[in-house]
C-alpha cells in the first residue's frame, strides 16, 4: 500500500531537461508543467452545457521545448519508446497518431488559430497515471501549449490561458479523436491551489470554490483501479451521442435545459436514463457547492455516493472494480465515494477523514485481492495550481 508520488517539480523539470538534451543533443529553451485533474463531481455534464467541479492534481506533465530553424516538429517522451516527426501542417487530423497526437495536435491547432508557431523539438515527462481517468491527455496538451505560447513571447495571462483552452480541445477531439467537453483543459489552465473550480458550460463561466479540507481534517483519496480506459474507444462517444439524441427527443438545445419531469416522460428507456443522469448530476453539483460553503461534509459525502449510483445505473459507465472501491471505501469510513472521469475503468475519488485514511486504503486493497483484481494504486490529493512555466 503506497501513494503514487507526484514528484518534486524542480527534480522533474531537471529530468525533463536532461532527457531533452540526451534526445536532441541540445538544451531546451524552457519547461512548462500542467496538472492532471480529478473531478470531484459533475460527470459527462461538460458537453451537455452543464456544471462540474474538478480539482487540479499535484501530479503533472512536463514539456521541454526548443525552437528549430525549420518547420519540422519532433515529439518524444520519457515514458514512451515511439516518437513522432513531421511538419506542423501535417500534425492535424490524420497526421500525428497515438499519444503524440495530443502534443503535435496542439501545435497544429495553435497555428490554425493564427499563432506564429515555429518548428519545435518537444520532450514530455510526467507523473499523471496513464489511462486512470485523471486527464493525462489534457495535462500533456496544456503543458505543450503553455510552453510553446511562452516560447513565442506570449504573456501567460488570463486572456492567453482562456484562449489556449479551445485549442487544446481541438487537439484532443479533432486530432486524437476523443470527443471531450473541455473540463479537463479548463481546470489544467485555470485552477487555483486549495480549491475546486466550478465550471458552468452553459455560459462558459468559472469560479474557484475553497475546499478547506485540511481544516476539516479530511482528504481526497484517488484510487486508480488499473483498469485502463480510453476516451477514443467508442464508449465515451456513444454516451455523447445518446445525450444529443435525448436532447433532440426533448426538443431542447442541450440537456442543461431539460426538466426532470419531461425526462421521466420519455418513452425510450435508454435515453430516459442517460438524460436523468445529466439533469440530476447538475443538481448534485450545485448542491455540493452549497454544502461546501456551509461546511456540511456529510452532505458532500452523500452527494458523491448518489453521483456514483447514477453513473452506475443510469449512465452505465462504471465497472466492478470501481463499484468495489466505492462500496469498500464507504464501509471503511469514507464520507462518500464515486467513480471519476469518463468511465469504463479509471479511478474513484473518496472523501476520507485523515484518521481513516490508512484503514480505507487497506480495506480497498484487501477487497481487490479477494475479488481477484489487479492491485490498485492510491493518490492523496492536495488541490494544486494551474499550468505554468517551471523556473
Contact 120, 151 (CB under 8 A): yes
Q: Which of 134, 127, 171, 97 is nearest to 33 (CA)?
A: 127
**How far apart (Å, rounded) are the C-alpha atoms in residues 38 and 345?**
14
183 grid coordinates: 473540463
Query: Which bin fits 226, alpha (ψ -120 to 50), beta or left (φ > 0)?
Result: left
**Residue 347 backbone dihedrals phi, psi, to 5 degrees:** -125, 165
Residue 184 designated active-site: yes
* Radius of gyration (C-alpha) of the chain in whole angstroms: 20
- 46, 70, 81, 184: which one is catalytic? 184
CB atoms within 10 A of CB 106: 32
What does the block give as the cell for 132?
486512470
Tell me the CA end-to-end span of the chain in Å, nearest whole number. Answer: 34
93 burial level (CB within 10 Å; 0-12, 13-18, 19+): middle
- Which H/E stretch holds residue 160? helix 158-170
Query: Are the C-beta atoms of 336 and 302 separated by less than 8 Å?
Result: yes
Q: How far apart are CA 71 and CA 307, in angstroms?
A: 47
Any idea which residues carry the catalytic annotation?
184
Amino acid at each position: 500500500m503506497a501513494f503514487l508520488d507526484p514528484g518534486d517539480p524542480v527534480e522533474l523539470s531537471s529530468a525533463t531537461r536532461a532527457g531533452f538534451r540526451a534526445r536532441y543533443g541540445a538544451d531546451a529553451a524552457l519547461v512548462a508543467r500542467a496538472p492532471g485533474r480529478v473531478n470531484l463531481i459533475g460527470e459527462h455534464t461538460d458537453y451537455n452545457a452543464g456544471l462540474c467541479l474538478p480539482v487540479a492534481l499535484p501530479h503533472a506533465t512536463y514539456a521541454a521545448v526548443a525552437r528549430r530553424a525549420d518547420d519540422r516538429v519532433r515529439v518524444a517522451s520519457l515514458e514512451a519508446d515511439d516518437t513522432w516527426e513531421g511538419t506542423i501542417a501535417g500534425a492535424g487530423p490524420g497526421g500525428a497518431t497515438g499519444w503524440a497526437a495530443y502534443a503535435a495536435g496542439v501545435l497544429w491547432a495553435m497555428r490554425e488559430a493564427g499563432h506564429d508557431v515555429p518548428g519545435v523539438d518537444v520532450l514530455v515527462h510526467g507523473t499523471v497515471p496513464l489511462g486512470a481517468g485523471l486527464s493525462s491527455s489534457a495535462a500533456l496538451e496544456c503543458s505543450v501549449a503553455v510552453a510553446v505560447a511562452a516560447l513565442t513571447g506570449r504573456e501567460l495571462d488570463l486572456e492567453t490561458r482562456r484562449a489556449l483552452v479551445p485549442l487544446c480541445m481541438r487537439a484532443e477531439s479533432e486530432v486524437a479523436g476523443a470527443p471531450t467537453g473541455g473540463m479537463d483543459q479548463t481546470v489544467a489552465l485555470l485552477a487555483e491551489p486549495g480549491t475546486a473550480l466550478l465550471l458552468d458550460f452553459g455560459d462558459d463561466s468559472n469560479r474557484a470554490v475553497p475546499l478547506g479540507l485540511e481544516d476539516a481534517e479530511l482528504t481526497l483519496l484517488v484510487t486508480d483501479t488499473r483498469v485502463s480506459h480510453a476516451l477514443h474507444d467508442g464508449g465515451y462517444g456513444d454516451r455523447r451521442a445518446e445525450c444529443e439524441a435525448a436532447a433532440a427527443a426533448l426538443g431542447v438545445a442541450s440537456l442543461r435545459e431539460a426538466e426532470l419531469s419531461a425526462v421521466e416522460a420519455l418513452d425510450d428507456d435508454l435515453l430516459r436514463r442517460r438524460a436523468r443522469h445529466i439533469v440530476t448530476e447538475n443538481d448534485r453539483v450545485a448542491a455540493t457547492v452549497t454544502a461546501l460553503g456551509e461546511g456540511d461534509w456529510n452532505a458532500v459525502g452523500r452527494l458523491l455516493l448518489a453521483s456514483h449510483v447514477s453513473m452506475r445505473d443510469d449512465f452505465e459507465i462504471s465497472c466492478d472494480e470501481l463499484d468495489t472501491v466505492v462500496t469498500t471505501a464507504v464501509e471503511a469510513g469514507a464520507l462518500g465515494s464515486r467513480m471519476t472521469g469518463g468511465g469504463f475503468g479509471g479511478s474513484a475519488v473518496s472523501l476520507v477523514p485523515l484518521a481513516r485514511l490508512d484503514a480505507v486504503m487497506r480495506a480497498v486493497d484487501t477487497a481487490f485481492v479477494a475479488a481477484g483484481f489487479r492491485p490498485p494504486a492510491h493518490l492523496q490529493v492536495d488541490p494544486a495550481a494551474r499550468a505554468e512555466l517551471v523556473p
